[in-house]
Amino acid sequence: MISIFGKITLSFQTFRTHKLRSFLTTLGIVIGVMTVIAILSLIEGLNRSVAEQIQSLGSDLIYLQKFTWVSTGHRDLEKLANRPDLIPDDAIAITKLASVEIAIPEINRRLTNLKYRDNEVASPTITGSDENFAWVNNHIVESGRDLSRDDVLHRRAVGIIGSYIASNLFPDESPLGKDIYVNGHRVKIIGVFKEKGTFLGNSLDNFLLIPNTLYEKFFPRERGSIFSRVYGGYSIDIKPRTGKVEQAIDEIRELMRRRHGLTFDEDDDYELNTQQVLLDLYQNLTNVGFIAIVAIAAISLVVGGIGIMNIMLVSVAERTREIGIRKAVGASNQNILSQFLIESVVLALVGGIIGILLGMLLAALISAVSPLKAAVSLWMIALGFGFSASVGIFFGIYPARKAATLNPIEALRYE
């Protein structure tokens, strides 16, 4: 049989004679593949940075809370609000579990601002926790000192600030030993955390850590709004022993059910959130992106495919005599079929390659002018190839069959 290479050079001959028309025909595929490659590489880039950032949040912590991070369907806030508050004693009990390295209580709220003389930072987070908070959450004290056991026990009015607060409230001086005011209460700064950067665009350094005992004094837990009853209480940050996440979850579940006096037929009245849950949530978001891509791809590939079918039908009509001559000298239906099929696949692939290149270019361009970082991987290029080749085959088969089944004499008579 004729070599594949021979057939491909044969089809390139035709493109040379119809340059402009071939180019216009592939435009649909070019645009489709380009868009898909650009969006995919942006999502992939986003995936990587989100994965990195979630990792940087703290490794594999389990968060025991009243609410779940991922809502499935509508959530009954009233029910969540009526769940028992979590308390620092829970952390002490959980720390004793075999598969848990340590558990700490953590409680947060957003302040309107923090001021020092003329300087101000807007909406910092204030965190109440204990002397283990920093290392459990991968915070490093850069200057000054960490919280101590005594700070917590004696409810000392001391705090450690994130680097964002440090550089904004104290641009020209050391924050150590300075007093700031929270809710009218004086807090002395004893340390500054090393910079952590941003997560999904938010600074991770705009926070103030104080002993949780002090936090309870500053913000007594009254029966507030339903939101504060759900979200305003303690979380327990649990660090499982390496490789023991599953066991830890089982043990915590058993312990908490016991502590809350739940009978076997009652549901859990707490949630165990992990970063996996966060990743899953993110995954759900990007799935929406993927659906959009599939839609764009489908539409543009159908448009491109119809274009290809059209040019191939024109080509078959134009070359009816050629087909007749080839069949008269011994070309089989199969030969003619593959000649035209290869032509439409090559046509589609040329569009696909241009689309891949333009898509990569577009991704690089977006990366250059925006904070989004695109990452093109091999599988996307393979996908682009696969896509366009399939379009070439799918939309080329009808014209190719039409050409292949022509009667030689009728084809020869064609003017």
Contacting residues toward another protein, per CB under 8 A: 1-2, 6, 13, 17, 321-322, 324-335, 407-409, 412
Alpha carbons 172 and 166: distance in angstroms, whole number = 10
Please provide residue 115's backbone torsions phi and psi, each rounded to the nearest 5 degrees.
-125, 150
User: In terms of CB distance, is 13 or 71 closer to another protein?
Assistant: 13
Alpha carbons 323 and 329: distance in angstroms, whole number = 10
**Minimum CB separation from another protein for residue 21, in Å?**
17
Given a contact cutoff of 8 angstroms between Cβ atoms, the answer to whether 361 and 38 are in contact is: no
Alpha carbons 126 and 377: distance in angstroms, whole number = 41
**Minimum CB separation from another protein for residue 413, in Å?**
10
Given a contact cutoff of 8 angstroms between Cβ atoms, the answer to whether 236 and 86 are in contact is: yes
**Minimum CB separation from another protein for residue 17, in Å?**
8
User: In terms of CB distance, is 237 or 322 closer to another protein?
Assistant: 322
Complete DSSP assignment for 246-288? HHHHHHHHHHHHHHTT--TTSPPSSEEEEHHHHHHHHHHHHHH
User: In terms of CB distance, is 127 or 315 closer to another protein?
Assistant: 315
**Minimum CB separation from another protein for residue 396, in Å?**
20
Q: Which residue in 90, 88, 107 sits closest to 257, CA to CA?
A: 90
User: In terms of CB distance, is 174 or 332 closer to another protein?
Assistant: 332
**Minimum CB separation from another protein for residue 403, in Å?**
14
User: In terms of CB distance, is 153 or 328 closer to another protein?
Assistant: 328
Given a contact cutoff of 8 angstroms between Cβ atoms, the answer to whether 270 and 83 are in contact is: yes
User: In terms of CB distance, is 261 or 330 closer to another protein?
Assistant: 330
**Minimum CB separation from another protein for residue 26, in Å?**
22
Alpha carbons 28 and 391: distance in angstroms, whole number = 11
